[in-house]
Amino acid sequence: MPNDDNPANCAASAGSYDFRLAGSTLDGAMTGSDTAPIDGGFLWADVPFGAFGLRETAFTRGFGRNVVPGYPFNEGLGGFEVDLGEGDPDVTVEVFNFIPE
């Protein structure tokens, strides 16, 4: 587990990866193919309010674990819990990948 998750001290991923966003208010899970690129990351648009599980499903070669500071892992949601609501309709989540020990 890395000790420093400051983005200024972590190189951006240069490889391929994919994510899944799932929750009861979606018709089905969303993946990277449902996103648009934005500022070195990606954006899921028109996601309804609710609780969602965010899980990385494909890692950059050599990596295989991740942390998402500020978002607890929720087994029931199958990923890091991300909540969207009237108070937080737009959420930015930073995911840090690292080489498994």
81/12 Cα distance (integer angstroms): 23
Domain ranges of the chain: 7-98
Give per-residue pLDDT as tens, 40-66: 788 999 999 999 999 999 988 888 888
> What tokens were used for 43?
């954006």
* Phi, psi (rounded to 5 degrees) for 95: -115, 130
Q: What is the mean pLDDT of residues 10-38?
A: 88
Of the candidates 77, 70, 31, the one whose C-alpha atom is nearest the C-alpha of residue 53 is 77
| Mean pLDDT of the chain, nearest integer | 87
The whole-model pTM stands at 0.84
Percent of the chain with pLDDT over 90: 56
60/77 Cα distance (integer angstroms): 23
Give per-residue pLDDT as tens, 68-80: 989 999 999 999 9
